[in-house]
Amino acid sequence: MLDQIKGLHHVTSMARDARQNNDFFTHKLGLRRVKKTVNFDAPDVYHLYYADEVGTPGSVMTYFPFPNIGKGRHGVGEVGTTAYSVPEGTLAYWEERFTDEGVTNVAREDSFGEKRLGFAGPDGDGFALVEDKADSRAPWVKGGIAADEAIRGFHSVSLRLKDGGATEELLKFMGYEEVNKSGNVRRLAIRNGNGADVVDIESLPTAPFADLGVGSVHHVAFSVENRAKQLEVRKALMDTGYGVTPVIDRDYFWAIYFRTPGGVLFEVATNEPGFDRDEDTAHLGEALKLPTQHQHLRPYLEQHLQKLEG
């Protein structure tokens, strides 16, 4: 069993409209946009990152807003719900805020004894807020939401799978252990992780497979401290039979990718070098930052990419 992985690093999803996406996460959820850059493989499309003050691993939600992409179809083989952690007793505040802000599919839930508030993102993607009195992570406090109510970071992701058995074994190999179960859902967690250390596996044997598109999670990334730890994980996964990509430089972290038995794309990302490698912490996410290979496109991109507030 591996011990290098400390929980989630980031979740990356697909959107249609960059301006709407930016407003939802920075205004409605009160998160900080910590990076405004472009997709490495499609540089005419933004890659937007929303997180806490500094982009701490375990707090980072990222989006590719493709204006002309079709809508995704939810099903098995995907991340179903991305859950954020909020302080105990704050769901009433968030319920009222979401009503005022026109957030849809807002519903009280209870899962594994936790009070939750489910809601939908602007493209129908599934989210939840989970009350967690033990979460001591510092929130971003300049997004219009007071520290007593603000989001702390991720709580968990929920995987919807045709058969969760093989993915559960993979997660146990990655350092997770089963800590609870309820019906067709098994909860796995990293002991003494980074706070974003829970994965729920929901087995739905008769459900159709998901189709990737707007409102879909593209991949979920797990956190390791540095490149040396990442290489240890890569070797262990390959020795176990997984086809893992070479290490890829993503400017703000180093990444490896592999497909899980249930169909979800996993990434293992380093905590280094971080989002302040090319911007001062006080000004994260303000300027358009481009990968080296796309710098020559700056005049075109600055003219054609949607203008974002903030």
Do residues 77 and 218 touch, judged by C-beta distance below 8 A? no
Work out the number of other CB atoms within 10 angstroms of the CB of residue 186: 21
Asked if the model's pLDDT at residue 310 lies above 90, the reply is no
Average pLDDT, the chain: 97
What is the structure's pLDDT at 196? 98
Answer for the pair 11, 157: CB distance below 8 angstroms, yes or no. yes
Residue 47: φ, ψ to 5°: -125, 110
Distance CA 235, CA 215 (A): 33
Indicate whether this model's pTM tops 0.95: yes
CA angle, corner 83, sides to 77 and 84, nearest 5? 150
Q: Predicted confidence band at 177 (pLDDT cuts at 50, 70, 90)?
A: very high
What does DSSP say about strands 265-273 and 217-224: parallel, antiparallel, or unpaired? parallel
Residue 52: the pLDDT is: 98
| pLDDT tens digit sequence for 29-48 | 999 999 999 999 999 999 99
pLDDT tops 90 at residue 309? no
Per-residue model confidence as pLDDT tens digits over 249-282:
999 999 999 999 999 999 999 999 999 999 999 9
In degrees, to the nearest 5, what angle opens at C-alpha 207 toward C-alphas 204 and 211? 115
Tokens representing residue 201 in the block: 């596996």
pLDDT over threshold 90, residue 247: yes
Plot region of 241 (φ>0 → left; ψ -120 to 50 → alpha; else → beta): left
pLDDT band at 100 (very low <50, low <70, confident <90, very high): very high
At 191, list the tokens: 């002991």
